A and B are shown apart, each in its own frame.
Chain A
Amino acid sequence: NAGVTQTPKFQVLKTGQSMTLQCAQDMNHNSMYWYRQDPGMGLRLIYYSASEGTTDKGEVPNGYNVSRLNKREFSLRLESAAPSQTSVYFCASIPVDRSYGYTFGSGTRLTVV
């Protein structure tokens, strides 16, 4: 099925460990985004990629890095995880004409202990 696929769905890390969250879309969308959502909060933008080869910071980029590997894939890396990064992470994409809004993945639930 067409859409945005995120892996893994769940992850527990120890403080200081690193990991990469993967995101892939098969809709030929140009722009891709990473958001985080803390309990009871709205979504906050971490990083985005307006097109292949470009990335920019969002509202809360500290502690994260991203890579737009190709048009399909946009990964989020935590170099040294901290308990404050415990959250649900959503990846999203949107086509150039933005005619029907963003498509979101199902999320990665990350706990840092």
Chain B
Amino acid sequence: DAKTTQPTSMDCAEGRAANLPCNHSTISGNEYVYWYRQIHSQGPQYIIHGLKNNETNEMASLIITEDRKSSTLILPHATLRDTAVYYCIVRVAFSGSTGKLIFGQGTTLQVKP
């Protein structure tokens, strides 16, 4: 699985968009980008994933560059409850794979009033 690099920490004002970057320059063609978050030592929560097209769901948007070497998770209107550690993970997704997730250190996002 490709390695990812994320900033250690970021701040965001409440109500503003939070943009969390992730570099994955060694990503392979069949590897997906996954985002999870962990609030207060709870179990990690799945946010979104994508292959090469931009994706959006009720929680967030995922923007993947055309060369797929980096991506950005966007929380459009951050709230205090979005304060968490955000993990960007790159791996092969579908059948035939063992499905392992390798977590790095993640980005600690602090949403401030």
B44 at interface (Cβ–Cβ under 8 A)?
Answer: yes
Q: A101-B34, A104-B43, A104-B44 are known contacts. Are A45 and B106 too (CB-CB below 8 A)? A: no
Set of chain B residues within 8 Å of A107, measured between Cβ atoms? 41-43
What's the tally of chain B residues with a CB closer than 8 Å to chain A? 23
B49 at interface (Cβ–Cβ under 8 A)?
Answer: yes
Q: A101-B36, A102-B46, A104-B45 are known contacts. Are A42 and B103 too (CB-CB below 8 A)? A: yes
Set of chain B residues within 8 Å of A74, measured between Cβ atoms? none
Nearest B residue (CB) for A109: B41
Set of chain A residues within 8 Å of B93, measured between Cβ atoms? 98
CA separation between A92 and B46, bound complex, in Å? 11
Residue B46 contacts which of A33, A44, A96, A103 (CB distance < 8 angstroms)? A103
CA separation between A88 and B40, bound complex, in Å? 12
Residue contact A50 to B99, C-beta cutoff 8 Å: yes
Q: A92-B43, A104-B43 are known contacts. Are A45 and B105 too (CB-CB below 8 A)? A: no
* B42-79 interface code vs A (CB 8 A; 1 in, 0 out): 11111101000000000000000000000000000000
Set of chain B residues within 8 Å of A56, measured between Cβ atoms? 98
Residue contact B45 to A31, C-beta cutoff 8 Å: no
CA separation between A5 and B38, bound complex, in Å? 17
Set of chain A residues within 8 Å of B87, measured between Cβ atoms? 42
Nearest A residue (CB) for B87: A42
Nearest-neighbour CB distance to chain B for A32, whole angstroms, equals 9
B interface residue numbers (CB < 8 A to A): 34, 36, 41-47, 49, 87, 93-95, 98-106
A interface residue numbers (CB < 8 A to B): 4, 31, 33, 35, 37, 41-45, 48, 50, 56, 58-59, 88, 90, 92, 94, 96-98, 100-107
With A90-B43, A102-B101 already in contact, 20 other A-B pairs whose C-beta atoms are closer than 8 Å: A4-B43, A35-B103, A42-B87, A42-B103, A48-B100, A50-B98, A88-B41, A92-B44, A92-B101, A96-B95, A97-B94, A98-B99, A101-B34, A101-B36, A101-B47, A102-B44, A104-B44, A104-B45, A106-B42, A107-B42
